[in-house]
């Protein structure tokens, strides 16, 4: 179990006074706020530390605003994130092409503190209802993951589904606390998303089942490359989350599920992959069952590993 994630907002504005005003209001209301001055840095922020909502004020640059929204909403990982536009009454009077401006809501300047915080809270709540996003990672949760898998199976579209599980996460969480455990999950989210985005394919999908379990769907040809990249990045970064003494020892001591003190190695990852291009799968339940079986074998191995199930039967 993890603590509820602090609600976060990314403000995209070309004018610093707009950022400062909105940030002060949101921080006072308990939001964690980040800022960006242009579309490129905004997207980098989204991929590095996904917010729960974007607040966009691109005064005098309609093209830049549309390009940012178009890029964001076409992203197959974070396209569900809600975006709120800040408009003037003059902008609204001229008319807004909402087809070219795929925002989720808007605010008219000048706005009150209550209007801003209420609009952002409503957008976040609506997004969570619509896509069941995981509040910690911002990734799609169980229901949208299952729908996406069902869509691909029904379309007869071959793909590989990978289930990623962090080994020895619970003992780490028990010893170091939920806060540091949440940081490990956020780190895993970032490296998983980055590894999948490096494939430069439009046929990718990343989700967060919950806890330390993640899912990705990618073209079968990219499985080895993606899994090796994920494992290399995880193994390089995860030791930094341990105290010096534990890192040097290569293990920690924590209480196991039976209440006894046990020694646990540093965290690793196990990735179980089912390749539907080789395995005949007709329903998502069958896909999940095969993945669970492969995951069981993968977790028996020491260190970080991945196994791809291409068995015909």
CATH of the domain at 77: 3.40.50.2300
Residue 212 and residue 285 in one domain: yes
The CA angle 68-70-71, to the nearest 5 degrees, is: 65
Q: What is the pTM of this model?
A: 0.68
Q: Containing domain of residue 63, as a range?
A: 8-131
Q: What pLDDT does residue 58 have?
A: 60
Q: Looking at the domain assignment, is residue 106 inside a domain?
A: yes
Q: What pLDDT does residue 4 have?
A: 45
Q: Looking at the domain assignment, is residue 1 inside a domain?
A: no
Alpha carbon 85 to chain centroid distance?
23
Residues 9, 120 contacting (CB under 8 angstroms): yes
Tens of pLDDT, residue by residue over 153-172, are 989 889 999 999 999 999 99
For the cut 70, the answer to whether the pLDDT of residue 225 exceeds it is yes
Q: Which are the contacts of 17, defined by CB distance < 8 A and separation ≥ 6?
A: none
- Supply the angle between the helices 142-154 and 284-298 in degrees, to the nearest 10: 110
Q: Looking at the domain assignment, is residue 153 inside a domain?
A: yes
Kindly list the distances between the CA atom of residue 299 and the CA atoms of 5, 51, 165, 292, 302, in Å, as whole numbers in the listed order.
29, 32, 9, 11, 8
**Taking residues 26-46, what's their average pLDDT?**
89
Residue 146 and residue 125 in one domain: no
Q: What pLDDT does residue 281 have?
A: 83
Residue 103 and residue 48 in one domain: yes
Residue 38 and residue 184 in one domain: no
Q: Minimal CA–CA distance to 161: which of 211, 200, 212, 196?
A: 196
Residue 180 and residue 63 in one domain: no
CATH number of the domain that residue 176 is part of: 3.30.70.270
Residue 193 and residue 287 in one domain: yes
The tally of domains found in the chain comes to: 2
Instruction: Report how far residue 151's alpha carbon sits from residue 159's, in angstroms, rounded to the nearest whole number.
Output: 11
Residue 147 and residue 240 in one domain: yes
Q: What pLDDT does residue 3 have?
A: 45
Residue with the larger pLDDT of the pair 68 and 34: 34
Residue 271 and residue 126 in one domain: no
Q: Are strands 160-167 and 268-275 parallel, antiparallel or unpaired?
A: antiparallel
Q: Looking at the domain assignment, is residue 136 inside a domain?
A: no
Residue 287 and residue 208 in one domain: yes
Q: What pLDDT does residue 61 have?
A: 60
Q: Looking at the domain assignment, is residue 38 inside a domain?
A: yes
Q: Minimal CA–CA distance to 184: which of 201, 197, 167, 196?
A: 167
Last residue of a domain, one of 112, 131, 150: 131
Other C-beta atoms lying within 10 Å of the C-beta of residue 304: 21
For 72-81, 148-157, 193-202, 275-284, which range has the lowest pLDDT when averaged over its residues? Answer: 72-81
Residue with the larger pLDDT of the pair 43 and 303: 303
Last residue of a domain, one of 81, 111, 131: 131
Residues 82, 119 contacting (CB under 8 angstroms): no
Reported as a pLDDT band with limits 50, 70 and 90, residue 308 is very high
Residue 167 and residue 296 in one domain: yes
Reported as a pLDDT band with limits 50, 70 and 90, residue 127 is confident
Residue 300 and residue 194 in one domain: yes
Q: What pLDDT does residue 24 have?
A: 93
Q: Looking at the domain assignment, is residue 137 inside a domain?
A: no
Last residue of a domain, one of 103, 131, 159: 131
Kindly list the distances between the CA atom of residue 189 and the CA atoms of 17, 54, 137, 251, 300, in Å, as whole numbers in the listed order.
32, 19, 6, 23, 24
Question: How many residues are there in the chain?
Answer: 313
Residues 64, 72 contacting (CB under 8 angstroms): no
Q: What pLDDT does residue 43 have?
A: 87
Residue 81 and residue 221 in one domain: no
Instruction: Report how far residue 290's alpha carbon sits from residue 277's, in angstroms, rounded to the nearest whole number.
Output: 14
């Amino acid at each position: 179990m993890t603590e509820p994630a602090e609600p976060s907002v990314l403000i995209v504005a070309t004018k610093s006074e707009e950022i400062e005003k909105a940030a002060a209001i949101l921080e006072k209301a308990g939001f964690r706020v980040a800022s960006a001055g242009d579309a490129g840095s905004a997207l980098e922020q989204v991929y590095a530390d996904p917010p729960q909502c974007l607040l966009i004020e691109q005064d005098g640059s309609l093209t830049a605003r549309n390009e940012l929204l178009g890029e964001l909403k076409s992203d197959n990982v974070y396209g569900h994130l809600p975006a709120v536009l800040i408009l003037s009454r003059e902008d609204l009077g001229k008319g807004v092409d909402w087809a070219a401006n795929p925002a989720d809501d808007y605010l008219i300047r000048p706005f009150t503190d209550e209007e801003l915080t209420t609009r952002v809270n409503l957008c976040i709540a609506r997004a969570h209802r619509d896509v069941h996003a995981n509040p910690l990672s911002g990734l799609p949760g169980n229901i949208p993951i299952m729908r996406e898998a069902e869509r691909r199976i029904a379309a007869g579209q071959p793909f590989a589904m990978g289930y990623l599980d962090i080994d020895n996460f619970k003992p780490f969480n028990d010893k170091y606390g939920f806060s540091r455990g949440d940081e490990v999950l956020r780190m895993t989210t970032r490296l998983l998303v980055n590894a999948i985005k490096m494939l430069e394919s439009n046929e990718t999908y990343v989700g967060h089942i919950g806890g330390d379990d993640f899912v990705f769907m990618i073209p079968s040809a990219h499985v080895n490359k993606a899994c090796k990249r994920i494992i290399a990045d995880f193994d390089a970064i995860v030791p930094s989350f341990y105290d010096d003494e534990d890192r040097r020892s290569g293990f920690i001591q924590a209480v196991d599920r039976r209440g006894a003190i046990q020694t646990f190695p540093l965290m690793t990852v196990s990735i179980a992959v089912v390749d539907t291009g080789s395995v005949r799968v007709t329903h998502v339940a069958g896909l999940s069952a095969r993945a669970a079986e492969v995951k069981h074998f993968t977790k028996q191995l020491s260190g970080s590993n991945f196994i791809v199930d291409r068995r015909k039967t």
